[in-house]
Structure formats: structure tokens, C-alpha cells
Structure 1
């Protein structure tokens, strides 16, 4: 039995449990339905919990049929380096998001991500996609929907 195949579903079950506990500890609304603020987070939390349990059961069922070798993909050095670069970009993006703002940080993040995935040969397409997507998202939320972004 491959124990490693159960790490991710158990991790997701723990995240869903903590999320649900924190959701139940949300303060009640002062206006209208006191529990209305909890409805959407509860839907997300219970959905994640149910899907994680199904994931765990599926892994248990598969463990009896086939050998687990999904992590062999990390033997490819180039793919592993790209994975670590993308992980680093995500961490940097989350750290600079509030200081720099949505538009600039998202443009830089997407630009760097596209250069990792597409390479330098398609530099013009990378720049156009990063700036266009960031601006369109910012405009949709800020101007059309009236949601302020950092």
C-alpha cells in the first residue's frame, strides 16, 4: 500500500475542517439575517470537505488496483526547475500584491509566468497577454462591478 498517495486528500480534509471551524466562528451580521454572511463560506467549506473525502476514497480504491508513480514526473530536472520557479513566483506575487497593487503585481506575475511557460521567443505575445488580461480584470471589477481592488 502506497501511503504517499493519501497525503494530499488528507491535507485537503484538514484544510476544509479548519476552514469550516473558522467559518462557524464568523461574527453574526447586525443587519438582516444574522447568518447570511456564513452561507457562501459554508458552501465552499462543505464542498471542499465532501470532494476531499471522495478524493480519499478514490485513492483508496485505486491503491488496490495500480501502483502509485505520479511523483516520477519530478525526475525530469527541467520540469522540476520550472515547477519551483512557478512556486516562487506565486509566493512573491502574494507578498507584493498589497504593497504594489493589483494591476502592477498581476501584470508582472503573469508576464514572468508566461516567460517561464512560453519562453523568450514569444515575448511580444507574453507582454500583450499579461497586460491585457490584468487591465481587463481590473477594469471589470473596479469600473463595471464597483469592487475595489488593492
Structure 2
């Protein structure tokens, strides 16, 4: 797993080297400065090569460090929240067309807000779900004239 992180910077180094070689082999201009068409692609290739080497060194340095953010992501209720959000999104996609924008959005936002905030904030959850859904519907349907299901 750790070595895989080095794959992208190595790929980018090889890609930038191939761009540099291809840029050097571009034909020279017949009018004006003969090397004029070469400056921009060669400059970009060199910049890409420099950034790719810096990226490689950064990833190499991180190999021995522990990634605490991934550990924190997998602790507590975060995995449950991620899973429920994906589930609610899938349900929202299925009910959007049959019951329409306004009702499906109220249900989707209500479910999300109750999952995140809990039952203690019932009034706030319902107000935000209904208010945001209605204002979005009003803005698109009435003000912008966009037809919503």
C-alpha cells in the first residue's frame, strides 16, 4: 500500500519527461524566432517535471509517518454517517422522479438532519428541511422558470 503512493509521482515524472522530449522535437518556425514555438511547451514540461519530483519527495517522506486522519475517519460514528448519507442519497435518487422535487428533497434533508443532529433539534431540522426545499423550488420553478419534477 505504501509503495503504491509513489506510483503517481513516478508516472508524472515519466510523463513530463516524454512531454519534454516531444516538445524538443517540435518543428522550428519558418518566420520570426525559429525556437518561438518551443518555449511554451518546453517550459510547461520542465515545470511539470519539477513539481513531479517535489511530489515524489513529499510522498517518500510520508511513507514512514502514520496517517492519523484516516484513523480518525474510521473511529466513532463517522462510518455510520457516511454509510447513511450514501443510503439516503440512493433513496433520494429513486424517489425524486415519482414524488417530485419538493417532497423528495424535504424527506432527504430531513433524514440527513435527523441523522446528524439527532431528535433533540426537531424544530430546527424540520424548519431547515422544509425551508430550504421550498426556497430552492421557488427559486428554480418560479424565479428562473426551470421545470422541476
Give the unaligned 5+ runs of structure 1: 8-56
The unaligned stretches of length 5 or more in structure 2 are: 9-51
For residue 147 of structure 2, what is the aligned residue in structure 1? Answer: 148
Say which one has the larger Rg: 2
Count of aligned residue pairs for this structure pair: 101
Contact in 1 for aligned 2:73/2:79 (Cα 8 Å): yes
Output aligned runs, 1:1-150, within 5 Å: 1-3=2-4, 60=56, 62-66=58-62, 67=65, 69=67, 70-150=69-149
How far apart, in 2, do the equivalents of 1:128 and 1:121 lie?
14
- Contact 1:142/1:149 (8 A) holds in 2: yes
Normalising by structure 1, we get a TM-score of: 0.58
Deviation at 1:74, TM superposition (A): 4.2
Are 1:89 and 1:113, in contact at CA under 8 Å, matched by a contact in 2?
A: yes
TM-score, length-normalised on structure 2?
0.58
1:81 Cα deviation from its structure 2 partner: 1.1
Runs of 4+ residues deviating >3 angstroms: 4-7, 57-62
Aligned counterparts of 1:124 and 1:5: Cα–Cα separation in 2: 50
Give the distance between the partners of 2:102 and 2:136, measured in 1 at CA.
9
The Cα RMSD (Å) is 2.6
